[in-house]
Structures are given as structure tokens and as C-alpha cells.
Amino acid sequence: HPVFVAQHGTATCCRGCLEKWHRIPAGHELTAEERAHVVRVLERWLREHAAD
């Protein structure tokens, strides 16, 4: 599924990557703002790679 590829391509695949690459600390439930950030990152990647 394209979203799985996008998650790995944007380092949004796990809490470790979110912490390392996006500075979203692990150990708490994602806030609405943090979730929105992840969605924006994924949407941008998907738009940019739609033809791939």
C-alpha cells in the first residue's frame, strides 16, 4: 500500500523515527497537532510520488 511506503520514506513509520527525525517524543499519546504534522508529511510525500 502506498501509505506504508510513504511512512518509511518520510520516517513516520514508528515512534522511534518520529522522535529521531521529527522531534516528536515517544512515551505519550500523539497530540492533535502531532498527528496533523504526520498527516501533512504523508500527504506531501504521496502527492510528490503519485506518478511513481
Helix (H) or strand (E) holding 3: helix 2-9
Identity at 12, one-letter amino acid code: T
pLDDT in tens, 5-52: 999 999 999 999 999 999 999 999 999 999 999 999 999 999 999 988
Q: What is the pLDDT of residue 52?
A: 81
Q: What is the pLDDT of residue 28?
A: 98
Residue 25 cell numbers, joined: 517524543
CA distance 51 to 31: 32
User: What are the domain boundaries of the chain?
Assistant: 2-48
C-alpha dist (Å) from residue 30 to 27, 35, 46: 9, 6, 22
User: What is the pTM assigned to this prediction?
Assistant: 0.91
